[in-house]
Amino acid sequence: MSINLGRHRTSCRRSPRRSERARLEMAPVSVRSVLISESVDPCCRQILEGHGIRVTEKANLSREELMGEMKNHDGLVVRSATKVTADIINAAGNLKIIGRAGTGVDNVDVDAATKKGIIVMNTPSGNTISAAELTCALLMSLSRHVPQAAMSMRAGNWDRKKFMGAELYGKVLGIIGLGRIGKEVATRMQSFGMKTIGYDPITPPEVSAGWGVEQMSLEQLWPQCDYITVHTPLMPSTAGLLGDATFAKCKRGVKVVNCARGGIIDEAALFRALESGQCGGAGLDVFVEEPPKDRSLVNHPNVISCPHLGASTKEAQARCGQDIALQIVDMVKGKGLVGAVNAQVLVSAFSPESHQWIKLGEAIGAVLQSCTISKQPFSQVQITTRGDCLKHSTGYIASAVMVGLLTSGSSGCPNLVNALALAKESGVKVNQHHDQSEGAVHGLCDVEISVNGSSYKASGSVQAGVPVLLELSGNVFRQPVSLSGNLLFIRASASPQLLPSLTGLLAAAGVEMESFSAPAARAGDLWYCVGLSALLQDLGALKPLVKEAAQLAI
């Protein structure tokens, strides 16, 4: 016999009532106060304030000051100077969003933020034109030695032989990475008469052909290029993409540009290629270490370099400041989630159809959590969705189930951003699966948890927009049970006395029975669900009647 003695969920002061959280889900995040911790375009502040968000601007804070300040805000907006490390993230009390006004989130510890359930956002498109234009400027400078000629003039010389160049017209430009920036570089350099070829593992060749870039394998690309520019993220498959082996496959004298991320071109290999003449020149805006301590590339006569100026234009800064503010406002208003890097689950959660399924997942998780409270920790969770309408929903439903299962437990404050990470951290194995075999028309969600050697299973669905429980541990309810209000689950042996006895016990406790759901089976130990006007103070009163009891408010 196991009884969940009074540790009902509404007594948890750390998290709001489930019903309150359900409302927040419509606007998944509430942000009232934002700290901007460095110089971001003033339009960012204006837009946020225009939507009723309080804004504090404090640049040049020390780490200690920033940690102290973090307690007072639900949002943090940074550019590149603020290093948002785990200690800063963990010092935050209510932080819900970290927004970077710029492309990438290199200065944010995304894993630490994810574990705390904090959304991390960037503005992936605000820098596009500026980065593309700087790339073009470096390509042109490489062809005509403009920076070197300018330095020579400044030194009092008039050297016309030394700076003989070559036209870009008719030359081949290899563009590696055909995202937004690669595309803008291509169309601009085509206007100089360059032939643009490229490679990208994601952009389809028909799409890039539409803007004049012929795609091919890297093996085919290397030997054709007079110029190569890289526009990929930095990741294991792109680190050192241009290195000793690939320079060897290029035309002698190839010129290269990196305005993307330091390290895509191997710096030591580039230096060797410059020295041997295999590389005829390099334009570098980014470095592995910034600023680079090793100045051998920067000082090389065939290198022209900039101190990471790709996004350093008035327009890019204004666009990024505006984008991050608008993205935060859209998120708060529940209009959409753009630019988030760690909240794939939430992105799908923004479609209106998904709200009820998220509520269902959370409710099923909460029911199973209540029923197993005295037996936890659970070791394994199997989430199965059925029905074509849920074909692409398993991920966010699984996260919602884990939110329900983990809330009020020991593992932080679970939400859709961190639920799977928290489960992993506490050693819970989560399996998710969409079962297409039955081709069911209606969506169904089954959750089975293993706890202390026994298994509990709950199945639910959404009917007429309401989350309902259909089955609990093999007991199919005669009518779907609406998963809302105060619910009492009891396991008891089937008996005509059960209902009158229960009614009496509840009456004695001053609680009204609002509904009584019995399973279809009529013999043995069965699970019943009882709707209550209020949660019971003491489940112990049910002891004579039931084998297990659990209650929760949804």
Residues at the contact surface with ligand 9EZ, assessed by CB under 6 A: 176-177, 179, 199-202, 232-233, 237-238, 241
CA distance 272 to 243: 10
Instruction: Please report how the helices 180-190 and 128-144 are oriented relative to each other, as an axis angle in degrees rounded to 10.
Output: 40
Q: Which helix (H) or strand (E) holds 435?
A: strand 429-435
- Sign for the CA dihedral angle at 86, 88, 89, 91 comes to positive
User: Which pair of structure tokens corresponds to residue 476?
Assistant: 């199919």
Q: Are 506 and 534 in contact (CB under 8 A)?
A: no
Residue nearest to ligand 9EZ (CB): 232
Instruction: Identify which of residues 264 and 325 has a Cβ nearer to ligand 9EZ in the complex.
Output: 264
Q: How far is the CB of 342 from ligand 9EZ (least distance, A)?
A: 17
Q: How far is the CB of 95 from ligand 9EZ (least distance, A)?
A: 29
- What's the half-sphere exposure (Cβ side, CA atoms, 13 Å) at 21? 23
Which residue among the candidates 49, 167, 219, 290 is catalytic per the annotation?
A: 290
Among 405, 400, 404, smallest CA distance to 345 is for 400
A 10 A CB-CB count for 67 gives: 17
Which residue among the candidates 308, 315, 434, 448 is catalytic per the annotation?
A: 308
Give me the residues paired with residue 4 across strands.
none
Q: How far is the CB of 207 from ligand 9EZ (least distance, A)?
A: 13
Instruction: Identify which of residues 232 and 369 has a Cβ nearer to ligand 9EZ in the complex.
Output: 232
Q: How far is the CB of 235 from ligand 9EZ (least distance, A)?
A: 7
Q: How far is the CB of 343 from ligand 9EZ (least distance, A)?
A: 19
Q: Are 232 and 238 in contact (CB under 8 A)?
A: yes
Instruction: Identify which of residues 344 and 503 has a Cβ nearer to ligand 9EZ in the complex.
Output: 344
DSSP assigned state of 34: E
Q: How far is the CB of 46 from ligand 9EZ (least distance, A)?
A: 33
Q: How far is the CB of 338 from ligand 9EZ (least distance, A)?
A: 18
DSSP assigned state of 240: T
Instruction: Identify which of residues 242 and 311 has a Cβ nearer to ligand 9EZ in the complex.
Output: 242
Q: Is 8 a catalytic residue?
A: no
Angle in degrees, CA 432, 419, 97, rounded to 5: 135
- What's the half-sphere exposure (Cβ side, CA atoms, 13 Å) at 113? 24
Instruction: Identify which of residues 99 and 177 has a Cβ nearer to ligand 9EZ in the complex.
Output: 177
Instruction: Identify which of residues 138 and 176 has a Cβ nearer to ligand 9EZ in the complex.
Output: 176
Q: Is 9 a catalytic residue?
A: no
- What's the half-sphere exposure (Cβ side, CA atoms, 13 Å) at 362? 27
Q: How far is the CB of 177 from ligand 9EZ (least distance, A)?
A: 4
Instruction: Please report how the helices 128-144 and 314-332 are oriented relative to each other, as an axis angle in degrees rounded to 10.
Output: 160
Q: Helix, strand or coil for residue 48?
A: helix
Q: State the pairing for strand pair 2-3/378-386.
A: unpaired
Range 426-442 burial, b when 16+ CB lie within 10 A, else e: eebebebebeeeeebee
Q: Is 154 a catalytic residue?
A: no
Q: How far is the CB of 311 from ligand 9EZ (least distance, A)?
A: 18
Instruction: Identify which of residues 183 and 359 has a Cβ nearer to ligand 9EZ in the complex.
Output: 183
Among 211, 263, 256, 209, smallest CA distance to 236 is for 263
Q: State the pairing for strand pair 254-258/227-230.
A: parallel
Q: What is the phi/psi pair of residue 545, to 5°?
A: -100, -30
Give me the residues paired with residue 254 across strands.
279
CA distance 545 to 491: 9
Most distant CA atoms of the chain, gap in Å: 108
Instruction: Identify which of residues 232 and 399 has a Cβ nearer to ligand 9EZ in the complex.
Output: 232
3-state helix vs strand vs coil in the chain, percent to 5? 35, 25, 40
Instruction: Identify which of residues 176 and 419 has a Cβ nearer to ligand 9EZ in the complex.
Output: 176
Instruction: Identify which of residues 132 and 536 has a Cβ nearer to ligand 9EZ in the complex.
Output: 132
Q: How far is the CB of 349 from ligand 9EZ (least distance, A)?
A: 25
DSSP assigned state of 66: H
Which residue among the candidates 261, 300, 355, 491 is catalytic per the annotation?
A: 261
Active site residues: 261, 290, 308
